[in-house]
Structure 1
């Protein structure tokens, strides 16, 4: 940004403000990075796409963009796949995703989907000792996920670690069976 045209920087800040990110926000820098190489038309098109794909209001788009500005840089296909999975398979509500937009920036096939499969399996098998939210399960580090979700169930579900590793490679695990 230091080498950018001052008018371009002003335009980027104005765009960030229209997206709901005030100048004093800690997220301003990330929003500026997200919109730096996008035209006004592309940003407007992406905002419309987010509204239609995620069934969000203007306010919910602002909440999502303020929370995870790089959602503006995700491809439409990537966003579509995520919306289909989160709404159809996981059963999340649009407002839930709008307030936790970082989910949209995580790897769908390498993290979100495999963890969902593990948690769903553990819940259906009655093996979880507490009710973990979907968001909590996908946001913990890999080490914590292994410690809380995989390792404690080695005896009751000896295939779980292998199935999780298989799912993280983008393959469908064969032993996780859902009722």
Structure 2
């Protein structure tokens, strides 16, 4: 059972390590070591973060009762151009952390997806953009600009391909610590 997790959140800079010890989480950023009481956790939020082509990033944000928070991601940066997906490690640590949090604080809330206002505004902008692109394609075809229409169609397809998972996966909903949302976890194996 994995009780530690280490990842590099940025292309430059050192890694951050997390270690669960009973009802405490040790967060070591290399410069500072923080001890986080898991009983003080207010909310755990799991989200999907679109990444570069071919890379998906899943993020867990833990917010404390005093408003402080920390995050960890399934993507660890190795250099400016290379990132590694920590699928098994992230899945195991997220599961273990949620179990430890619910033991330390049964009142903690577990939320999947983005906040309602952010998800709704993203959805509205995505739908409006799609309608605007459809209008552009229609106008281009009416004027006989097939090339512009094809470019518009290509951009619409790429846009849907990138935005659809962000909207679908980040729909806000509650989950229990024992049943983490599989769609917000990297695919195992």
Higher strand share: 2
Task: State the TM bucket, normalised to the shorter chain.
Answer: under 0.3
RCO (CA 8 Å, sep 6+): is it higher in 1 or 2? 2
Give the TM-score normalised by structure 1.
0.24
Q: Which has the larger radius of gyration?
A: 2
Give the TM-score normalised by structure 2.
0.23
